[in-house]
Amino acid sequence: MPIELTNLAALSKAELQRLTARWGWSRYRTAQVWEWLYRRRAVSFESMTNLSVQMRTELAQRACIRWPVAVERRIAADGTRKLLIGLEDGRRIESVLIPDDRRLTLCLSTQVGCTLDCGFCLTGTMGLTRNLKAYEIVGQWVVAQQELDERPEGLPRRLTNLVFMGMGEPLANLPALTDALTRLTDPHGVAFPPRRITVSTAGLAPQIAELGRFQPAVNLAVSLNATDDATRAKIMPLAARYSIEELMAACRAYPLGPRRFITFEYVLLDRVNDSDDDARRLVRLLRGMRAKVNLIPWNPYPGTPFRRPADERIARFQTILLDARVPTYIRKSKGQEILAACGQLHSAEGEKTPQSVQPLHPAWS
């Protein structure tokens, strides 16, 4: 019977240290392996040239490096890239590379499907298949970096921002999320700046407090989308388990460093949550908070009753907030024609990656 190899990509730093300690390795050598995995994104042990030949041979006999793989890419006219990513169990998720002038943002998923059932979100129609593991979350960064290694025309050469706004509710998978954040911000690993990482939630109030204790601190975005509990319960039934009062209390208690804000995301739905009264209630909810608002005109998908408000209504909503000195921005919807915009991610839940489909980056398989 062949020996089952340990996937080093799936291990946290503490787990890797415990494993190599059993092999009699020093912490120094373990740190070198960690750096090869995350700083240099090694896909083979042969490339770890500062380890002895004996150590590399030992690694090859006992372990492997397996990240998720990109199986398909779709490119929009505005340069947005949606990556279909295959997992080891055959499930699939989507991540999105979003260029904007000199910025390049990677939108990451945290679940296969979503535990919530927001009526305006295509991902919510999938239901929840399972949570992603920490290395599957980080693996999306690895896939994106491989895309950039190919130097695609029209994209900046490096990622500037990470946003956890893809498939799933990040705070419903908090242990794996914080493990992934630890790997991504580790100064000896990926070393991604925490100030350029944003975690979005549909409003799981207790978990917001838990995320607030994570160090190094990351940015918080809250999908509010309604200013009264009745409307929120209609369009976000599971998120509405926590009242707006509970949610705002959790946001007010969230620790903010200097020059930090909480971002409130507000999907505008025609004749549902886009009235002048809605805008005024939003102003009252945010009074006294270090907050900014991203207005997101609803991104359509087939088979839904919602409509995008008229441009005049969107502008009027923004004006009311700006007049009350609430920083408010209308988010550009990028990648709509490839269903890559906010609320449009969907990977055909239940379908597995066909064996005949070759990964775009076969060296990772």
342 as an active site residue: the answer is yes
Among residues 107, 118, 251, 342, which one is catalytic? 342
Q: At CA 323, angle to CA 319 and CA 329, rounded to 5?
A: 50
Which residues sit opposite 341 in a β-bridge?
Answer: none
**Cis peptide upstream of residue 193 (ω within 30 degrees of 0):** no
Quote the tokens at residue 354.
Answer: 């066909």
Cα dihedral 122/124/127/131 (nearest 10): 110
268 and 295 Cβ atoms separated by less than 8 Å? yes
Identify the three-state secondary structure at position 199: strand
User: 64: exposed, middle or buried (C-beta count within 10 Å: 0-12, 13-18, 19+)?
Assistant: middle
Among residues 94, 136, 147, 265, which one is catalytic? 94
The C-alpha atoms of residue 137 and residue 177 are separated, in whole angstroms, by 8
Measure CA 126 to chain center: 17
The C-alpha atoms of residue 312 and residue 325 are separated, in whole angstroms, by 20
List, as one string, the DSSP characters of 162-188. EEE-SSS-GGGGHHHHHHHHHHHH-TT
64 as an active site residue: the answer is no
158 and 148 Cβ atoms separated by less than 8 Å? yes
17: CB partners within 8 A, 6+ apart = 27, 30
Spatial CA neighbour of 37 closest among 198, 19, 54: 19
Annotated active-site positions, please? 94, 342
